[in-house]
Amino acid sequence: MSPTRLVLATFVVLGASGCAKHGVDTVKEMRARACAADPAGFLSHVDREEFARTTRATFEKRAEASIAKLDPADQAAAREKFDKSADAAAKTRVDDTFTTWEYDIKTHGPESEPCRLSILDSSETGDAADVRVTTPATGDRHWRMARSGGRWRLVSVGD
């Protein structure tokens, strides 16, 4: 094999294996998968377990802010009620998010929201990256990427 072909083959293998150098590169790859109407390829860059954990943590933070405004005598009951429903609510939110992405990408491909995503800016520290993105429907969002096992994956989406 010629040196040129060897270099090209190496790039193809590295590109296909998802070895993005930076978190923003993974967001670009996710957008490319969405534009190609490949929801499985898009979702392969999401750490589902960590996404669920961060979703629940967001729910908990918002609930705690609301509970703190209650009469102190009512706070314990409100926390107990939250704890009973939080896991199910977070699971529902995560499942809905993935189902929406999958349907949108499969059905609309190049016209899907993830394909129409624009990257506004990004910052990276160690194994974490924050990528600020925007789409026509959702506006500005922050995508948190985390590197684990040499791969960057989406772990949360927030405002």
C-alpha span between 57 and 54 (Å, rounded): 5
Which pLDDT tens digit goes with each residue over 13-71?
344 445 679 999 999 999 999 999 999 999 999 999 999 999 989 888 888 888 999 99
Which phi and psi angles does 138 have, rounded to 5°?
Answer: -100, -15
Dig out the tokens for 148 from the structure: 């684990």
C-alpha span between 47 and 10 (Å, rounded): 26
Specify the DSSP element, H or E, that contains 74: helix 72-108
Which phi and psi angles does 113 have, rounded to 5°?
Answer: -60, -45
Determine whether domain 3-158 maps to CATH 3.10.450: yes
CB contact set of 37 (below 8 Å; sequence gap of 6+): 105, 106, 108, 109, 110, 112
Residue type, 72: P
Which pLDDT tens digit goes with each residue over 67-109?
999 999 998 898 888 888 888 888 999 999 999 999 999 999 9
Domain extents in the chain: 3-158
How many CA atoms lie less than 13 Å away from 75 in the CB half-sphere? 10
Sheet holding 151-158, edge to edge: 118-125, 128-135, 139-148, 151-158
Q: Say if residues 126 and 42 touch (Cβ distance below 8 Å).
A: no
Nearest to 17 by CA among 44, 39, 43: 44
CB atoms near residue 141 (< 10 Å): 15
Could you tell me the pTM of the whole model? 0.79
Residue type, 119: I
